[in-house]
Every structure is written in structure tokens, then in C-alpha cells.
């Protein structure tokens, strides 16, 4: 599918996703854990577009949501409520109520006060709230300090000692149905070892619960499976379209978790990947507006900016950038920057790229996760369109915002 054809019809910047790539990742993950029949709950925050969610829902996946908005999107996209888990450190009473009324697989409770509120809401609604306790296992993991969620200083989950107490209390509470333990330790994890370490903490807790006569029905190991954004063997300046060789292989993760899983054969397994399913399935197409030099620096100024793709500015994240068509033009080392009025509005730093003129199209790769979902209207820039390629055809799955959309809610 020529990116140029989509860009000409829809304009730029535009996110383009491949349905086949998303589904292939789902199958790969399910396949790796096949013996265990895992429930893959797609973390909507990575890419909540309804068409993307619909694909995964139809393929049998569940969903992981962290807000009333995500829960509504998940239900609207067709995910079965019985396959939805609801996390979040700050669920409002309205969100707890909506979650309980929706009869989800489990609400992941992240503090004692949330447990109290959940009990109060469940009593008022006269129903039994299915819950898991989210454990903070005290494990460092993740690709960036903003992405680590499982260490003791992070706000997520409860400490192991508190988890034991909360589980025992939940067990005695008639308005609660204690389903299991949840832990999500971070994002962009490329090594199975932190998962194993976290499960070590989970396992100690499971043992103590069993000794107290409490048997759980599920363990949710969270998401965080990393993808390889750059080919590190060639250094960050190298461009590659080749396969990302060192993403966290599902088979390696499954193998690392196998000893734990074999010791707990009755536990249902939940995985919550977001990035793994959608990151590599998407690109951001953007047109060059200008070239310029300042001293020894060279810039390709493009029509996408940090409002469209925040990851490079927020996490110094690396995304490969390639010309949409091969060009016989001399390469230079340059920064790819957007029009937003911030020095940090750099999509790609110090890259070797053909010194292409205005009008040429670039593709910022591996932006199918946390791309559009973190986009904003900063600098009063309407958010870009989204396109889904499926079965050799493409269609717009979210229209480009208009200037009217910018002021729609203002009075």
C-alpha cells in the first residue's frame, strides 16, 4: 500500500495502521502461551481507535481499561465485559459504579481506600464486585523512568504486606468476589527477568493466601512487553527497515514464566499488552515543509509535530524515520522537527536522511502505540486523521479534526 496514495487522498500528517500486523502480534502472543489459554486484555491506552479495538475484539481479545472513557470505548468496540479488566489508582465513584454495573471480569483495586469505596458502591448496588488486588512488587523495570510502575516509589498498587491484608479482608466481605492478583511493573520491558521477579513476589503472596485457605482464580501479569524501536547494533543514527530483532519475544516470556505457571495450574492467566500489539503496526506520514541550515545544524521541517507524536519530546524516544519513497538524493545528518513553538519539538534527532525538498513524504515508524492516543491540540493544531489498512484496502477510521473542532466546547 503506497503511503503516498493515502497521504495524497487524506492529507498529512496522518497515522496509518495495518490490521494484519496487529492481528499477527495477537496470534503470536496467544500462540506462545497456548498451553495456558491466556486471556490477552489489550491495553486500550496504546491506541483506543474504535476500528483497532474492533479488530482485536472480533479476534477474541479482552481489554484493559483505566478510565470510564476507556471502558465506554471498549464496550462500544465490542469487547465482552467478561473479558475486561479495569485498573487505575484514582477511579471515581462514578467509574467504580459504571464498572460494577458493566459486570467486568475484574476491577483491579489499588488502595485500601479504593477497596472501601468499592465495598460501599457494591452494597448500594446490591451486587458482588469482582476484584483483584493490584500488587506493587517493588521491581524496577521499563524503558524510561516515567515508564516504571512496579517499584516501591511508584503510585501504583499496594505493598505486598498490605496486599495480603486486603485480600484476607476482601475474602470475608460478602459484597466482594476476590478473583486474583494483578501487577503491571512497567512499559517497554525488553527482558523477561523483571516479570519473573515480580511473579516471585506474587507467588509468595499466593502461598501465604493458600495457607490461610484462600484460593484465587486469576493472576494478571500486566503488560509492558517491549518492542525494539531502533537497531542498536548499528547505533541510533542508523536507519533500518529490517525486522526489529530484539523485541521481547513472546516465546521467551512464556518460557520464563513457565515454572511459575506450572506450579499454579489452576490460575487463569491474563496478559495486558498495549504497545506490543500496535506499536509496530502503525506509522505517521508527514510532509516536508522546508529545509534549513543554522550554522552547522540542518533541519527538515515537517508538518507533524510534538502535538501529533509526543513520545520523542516526552521520553526522548527514538522512532525510525524513512522517506516514503526511495530517492537518489545525498544523505545528510539532520533533525526532523515540527512547527510547534518549542525547542523540544523534535521528532528525530541527528538522523542520516536524504536532504529532500519540500513536498516529499517521510514516515515516522512504529508509532501505532502511544502516538495518536497521546496527541493533543497544542498550538491549536487539529489532531491528525487515522487510516486503517485491511485486506489490501484502506479507510479513514478517524477524520482529521477541523478548525471548528478546536473551539467546539468553548463558550
Q: Identify the active-site residue in 53, 167, 334, 341.
A: 341
Q: Is 276 in the site for ligand LLP (CB under 6 A)?
A: yes
Does 225 contact ligand LLP by CB under 6 A? yes
Contact 160, 201 (CB under 8 A): yes
Regarding 49 and contact with ligand LLP (CB under 6 A), the answer is: no
Site map (CB under 6 A) of ligand LLP, residues 6-45, x = contact: -------------------------------------x-x
93-101 vs 112-125: helix crossing angle, rounded to 10: 50
Least distance in angstroms from the C-beta of 370 to ligand LLP = 3
DSSP result, 44-79: GGG---HHHHHHHHHTT-EEEE-SHHHHHHHHHHT-
Q: How far is the CB of 316 from ligand LLP (least distance, A)?
A: 11
For ligand LLP, which is the closer residue by CB, 128 or 145? 145
- For ligand LLP, the closer CB: 17 or 276: 276
Q: Decide: is 272 part of the binding site for ligand LLP (CB under 6 A).
A: yes
| Pairwise CA distance, residues 391 & 188, whole Å | 29
Residue 308 in the binding site for ligand LLP (CB under 6 A)? no
How far is the C-alpha of 169 from the C-alpha of 178, rounded, in Å?
A: 10
Among the listed residues 45, 72, 77, the one whose alpha carbon sits nearest the alpha carbon of residue 61:
77
Q: Pattern of binders to ligand LLP over 133-162, x per CB under 6 A?
A: --------------x---------------
Measure CA of the first residue to CA of the last residue in the chain; give whole Å.
43
224 is a contact residue toward ligand LLP (CB under 6 A):
yes
For residues 159 and 182, give the distance between their C-alpha atoms in angstroms, rounded to a whole number: 12
Among 223, 320, 354, 384, binds ligand LLP (CB under 6 A): 223
The burial of 56, by beta-carbon neighbours within 10 Å (0-12 exposed, 13-18 middle, 19 or more buried), is given as buried
> Minimal distance in Å, beta carbon 313 to ligand LLP?
11
Residue 114: CB atoms within 10 A of its CB come to 21
**Angle, vertex CA 291, rays to CA 288 and CA 294, nearest 5:** 145
- Other Cβ atoms closer than 10 A to 116: 12
Q: Tell me the three cell numbers of residue 267.
A: 490460575
Considering only 48, 68, 130, 274, the residue that binds ligand LLP (CB under 6 A) is: 274
According to the binding rule CB under 6 A, does residue 275 interact with ligand LLP?
yes
| Residues binding ligand LLP: number (CB under 6 A) | 22
Which distant-in-sequence residues (6+ apart) come within 8 Å of 111 by Cβ? 89, 158
What is the DSSP code string of 286-347?
A: EEEEEEEEETTEEEEEES--TTT--HHHHH-----EEESS-----EEEEEEE-SSSSTT-EE
Closest distance of CB 99 from ligand LLP, Å: 14
Q: For residue 180, state whether it binds ligand LLP (rule: CB under 6 A).
A: no
Stretch that binds ligand LLP, among 200-208, 240-248, 270-278, 324-332 (CB under 6 A): 270-278
91 binds ligand LLP (CB under 6 A): no
Q: Give dist(CA 71, CA 93) in Å, integer.
A: 14
**184: contact with ligand LLP by CB under 6 A:** yes
273 binds ligand LLP (CB under 6 A): yes
Q: Clarify whether 341 is annotated catalytic.
A: yes
Tell me the catalytic residues. 341
Binding site for ligand LLP (CB under 6 A): 43, 45-46, 64, 87, 147, 184, 187-188, 222-225, 272-276, 311, 369-370, 374
Amino acid at each position: 500500500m503506497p503511503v503516498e496514495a493515502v497521504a495524497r487522498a487524506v492529507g498529512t500528517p496522518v497515522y496509518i495502521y495495518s490490521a494484519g500486523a496487529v492481528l499477527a502480534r495477537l496470534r503470536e502472543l496467544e500462540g506462545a502461551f497456548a498451553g495456558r489459554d491466556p486471556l490477552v486484555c489489550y491495553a486500550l491506552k496504546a491506541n483506543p481507535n474504535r476500528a483497532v479495538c474492533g479488530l482485536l475484539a472480533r479476534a477474541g481479545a479482552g481489554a484493559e481499561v483505566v478510565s470510564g472513557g476507556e471502558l465506554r470505548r471498549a464496550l462500544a468496540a465490542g469487547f465482552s465485559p467478561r473479558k475486561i479488566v479495569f485498573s487505575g489508582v484514582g477511579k471515581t465513584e462514578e467509574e467504580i459504579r459504571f464498572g460494577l454495573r458493566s459486570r467486568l471480569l475484574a476491577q483491579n483495586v489499588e488502595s485500601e481506600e479504593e477497596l472501601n469505596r468499592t465495598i460501599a458502591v457494591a452494597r448500594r448496588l446490591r451486587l458482588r464486585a469482582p476484584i483483584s488486588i493490584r500488587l506493587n512488587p517493588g521491581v524496577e523495570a521499563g524503558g524510561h523512568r516515567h515508564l516504571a510502575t512496579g517499584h516501591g516509589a511508584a503510585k501504583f498498587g499496594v505493598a505486598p504486606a498490605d496486599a495480603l491484608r486486603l485480600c484476607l479482608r476482601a475474602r470475608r466481605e460478602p459484597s466482594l468476589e476476590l478473583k486474583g492478583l494483578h501487577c503491571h511493573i512497567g512499559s517497554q520491558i525488553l527482558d523477561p527477568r523483571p516479570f519473573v521477579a515480580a511473579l516471585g513476589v506474587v507467588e509468595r503472596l499466593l502461598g501465604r493466601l493458600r495457607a490461610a485457605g484462600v484460593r484465587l482464580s486469576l493472576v494478571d501479569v500486566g503488560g509492558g512487553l517491549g518492542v525494539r524501536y531502533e537497531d542498536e547494533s548499528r547505533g541510533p543514527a542508523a536507519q533500518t527497515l529490517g525486522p526489529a530483532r530484539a523485541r521481547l519475544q513472546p516465546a521467551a516470556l512464556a518460557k520464563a514464566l513457565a515454572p511459575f505457571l506450572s506450579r499454579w495450574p489452576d490460575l487463569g492467566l491474563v496478559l495486558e499488552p498495549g504497545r506490543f500489539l500496535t506499536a509496530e503496526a502503525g506509522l505517521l506520514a508527514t510532509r516536508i515543509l522546508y529545509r534549513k541550515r543554522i550554522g552547522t545544524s540542518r533541519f527538515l521541517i515537517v508538518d507533524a509535530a510534538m502535538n501529533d507524536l509526543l513520545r520523542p519530546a516526552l521520553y526522548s524516544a527514538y522512532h525510525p524515520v524513512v522517506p516514503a519513497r526511495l530517492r537518489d538524493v545525498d544523505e545528510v545528518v539532520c533533525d526532523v522537527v515540527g512547527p510547534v513553538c518549542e525547542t523540544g519539538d523534535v521528532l528525530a534527532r541527528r538522523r542520516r536522511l536524504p536532504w529532500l525538498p519540500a513536498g516529499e513524504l517521510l514516515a515516522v515508524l512504529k508509532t501505532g502505540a502511544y502516538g495518536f492516543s497521546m496527541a493533543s491540540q497544542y498550538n491549536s493544531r487539529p489532531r491528525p486523521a487515522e487510516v486503517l489498512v485491511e485486506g489490501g484496502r484502506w479507510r479513514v477510521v478517524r477524520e482529521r479534526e477541523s478548525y471548528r473542532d478546536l473551539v467546539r466546547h468553548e463558550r
